[in-house]
A and B are shown apart, each in its own frame.
Chain A
Amino acid sequence: MGARSRQPSRIRNLTAVLAISAAVATPAAACSSSASSPGAANVNSANQPKNPTLVITANDISGGKNAAEADWITKTLIPDFVKAEAAKGITATVTFRPNGVDDTAYKSKLALDLQSGTGDDVFALDGIWVGEFADAGYLKPLADVAGSQVHDWDGWKQITDAVQALGEYQGKRYGVPNGTDGRVIYYNKKLFAQAGLPADWQPKSWQDIYDAAAKLKTLSGVTPVQWDGGVPMGEATTIQGFLPLLAGNGGSLYAGGKWQQPGKAFKAALGFYQQIYGNGFGDAVLQQDAKGRDKSFAEFAAGKIGIYAESDYMWRSVVNPKNGTAPMPDRDTDVGYALIPAQTPGAGVNSQDFVSYSGGSDWSINPKTKYPQAAWDFLAFMNSNAETVSRLGGAAKITARSDVNSQVLAGDPMLKFVNDKVLPITSFRPSLAAYNDVSTLVQKAVADVVGGKSPDEAAATYEKGLEALVGKDGIASGG
């Protein structure tokens, strides 16, 4: 019954227990002992341990969520790494600890492990968690953990500055980005043909979207537009729906060290929702459904939705004829994709005509690892060109590395489109501890408008919530 893990990491856990056993039973005390992290500065390859043991964790599990990555880690990456280390005279023991559950649950477990002073040596985390994990002391700059060799890694040259920002916080590197994505507008070419719209469609302004929606509305049984707009959709509403609209007016949630007061751009973005859902172009009820996102995907796959703003995830994992959750056998011919336009040409951030938003995850190192050198070697190894290519296993996916992207994306025109056309114009969310709460406020504001309130009203509620969250001093006027 009480069988404990026989893995060597147990030993590390025990020392951590000893370190804090004197502490009073509060999480505060448990954390305050974190001062004694292994001295990072004296890490160098000359005196590194010959038998490092590493435990790797990610929100992947064989047979379930992200199964392909889990299988790659255990069957290819770890054996390859052990072999490579053996060539250097080091006997590494590496185990993978799968999770594969809801992201919030994974984040909680990661946080609990790290705050108790244990946790696995190398782990994956969402880019927007970096700030709150760093503030909590769960993460330290990579160079503080593994030494300045981190900056000498040749892989950085292959990762654009924008993508590197996914692993950065306050100008320091906390993790190696694993991949990224981009938001586009998908459309159903069959429905477009029926409505007399072009097969090769690229809206240049929001008005173009309204016009197309009005034509699609004449088809019976068709919802012209799905633009994520409900609280149950969570972050999808913020990043898929609202942020590209905000950027389409040159606005952002956070700029110059302050959260932005909801101004003209903010209200205009809400105005887009008013147009879509006020005119019956979108299915307002679906936005409130707890299964709204699943159902929207299923409806798009069934040819009942004309225009859909989503990330390349939808193409790869939802409507993918091979393994999608809502497969479309004729995806390649039936589904078109276009850039998200600014409200009017040139009105977007940096005076862009088109905009997008991106996210992505990182791999990082536990500051309390006993083997920082081995952990860094593992990170560098797993993000090398060869291993990144092998991770994809023939499937197309946008990685953090430009060299890999140009090699593997040629076979998938949609992902190539995202890589070539979307990533250069995309924006990233602020990696700040307060982001999660601000995002929830955004979702509520959007839901208010979808539910019939005016953008002014919804923006006022948002501003009140923002003030309560970050204080008046944390907010800059304008926006």
Chain B
Amino acid sequence: MRDTSAAAAAASDPGAVVRKIGRYTFLSVLLGFFALPMLWLASAPFNAHPTLNVSISSFTLHNFSVLLKDPYALPSLWNSLLLAGGTALLTVGFAAAAAYALSRVRVPGRNGILYALLLLSSIVTGTAAMVPLFQLAFKLHLIDSRLGVILVFTGGLLPAAIFILKDFTDNTPKSYEESARVFGASPFQIIRHIVLPMIRPGLATVTVWAVVNVWGNFLIPYILVRNPDKYPASVVLYTFYTEGGQPNLDLISAFSLLYSIPVIVLYLFVSHRYGFRFHGGIKR
């Protein structure tokens, strides 16, 4: 494949050797750039008195055993899973359906509407919309309800999710759908057995993107949830500070690691199972 042609080119062209060295130097620097900040997450949680320094002067699992006894730490990871899973499910399900409908059935001004929604979503995901979102949830009796948090997140994420998934469906060949239709498949059979499998990498990507967005958000769950038994990990991480706002790095570092593991596992699973691929580009 390409490797062989590159090797052949390298043999005949000294410039190619230089390029190859250049390429691997660049990739090494890249590796360092992306890996370096993460060292702290690998060392600090196991340090008896972590500072901002990357070192393990005295290895311990004590920080984790303190967290095990914390009444909110581990349950908060479960709460995060519920919020992120629920949001991802609604976002991906609703967005895929809407994206397919918008992609296949001509609606006047559909791209304009989609752009407008994409722009509006930037307001709602910012801090300026805090009061309206709270009042809305309040009037719908969705305060202290996980469903409320999920719906608020879903509303904010849907436009970008539809945008990405519509790109996918625009790019899938319509001939399969047409032939299935010739053989008498119903529209819903076509969607389920033909369209969904084709855009599966897109669904996986949007799922991870939605989960990551919910996973890191502090403000929305904090203002909408009342019962601390329902706090997600993003909120609980902020409780490991003193009355004067000094961070308790022992607990913060250990909890940061626990807090990061589920998203890493999700990424590994999705990338292994579905491949982690985008198809993009505005095609119309």
Contacts and interface: CB of A to CB of B under 8 A. Distances in A.
Q: In the complex, are there CB atoms of A and B closer than 8 Å?
A: yes
B146 interface: yes
Given A17-B138, A298-B51, A61 B228 contact: yes
B84 to A, nearest CB: 13
**Which among A3, A14, A30, A63 has the greatest number of chain B C-beta atoms within 10 A?**
A63
B246 A317 contact: yes
Contacts of B228: 61, 97-99
A66 to B, nearest CB: 5
A298 B243 CA distance: 17
A7 B227 CA distance: 10
Interface stretch (B20-28, B32-40, B66-74, B164-172): B66-74
A297 B72 CA distance: 28
Interface in B122-161: 130-131, 134-136, 138-139, 141-148, 150
B247 A325 contact: yes
Given A4-B141, A112-B134, A313-B244, A105 B82 contact: no
A104 to B, nearest CB: 10
A298 B49 CA distance: 12
Interface in B79-94: 82, 86
Interface residues of A, number: 43
Interface string A53-89: 0000000011111100000000000000000000000
Interface in B238-265: 238-249, 251
A102 B238 contact: yes
Contact of B71 (A62, A109, A293, A313): A62
Contacts, number: 111
A149 interface: no
Nearest to A106: B222
A105 B134 contact: no
Contacts of B162: none
Given A63-B73, A64-B239, A103 B245 contact: yes
B104 interface: no
Interface in A16-74: 17, 21, 25, 27, 30, 61-66
Contact of B239 (A63, A291, A318): A63
B134 A64 contact: no
Interface of A: 1-5, 7, 13-14, 17, 21, 25, 27, 30, 61-66, 97-103, 105, 108-109, 112, 116, 118, 236, 291, 293-294, 297-298, 313, 317-318, 325-326
Closest 8 pairs between A and B when the two form their complex, measured CB to CB: A64-B239, A2-B147, A63-B70, A100-B239, A325-B246, A101-B238, A112-B134, A61-B239
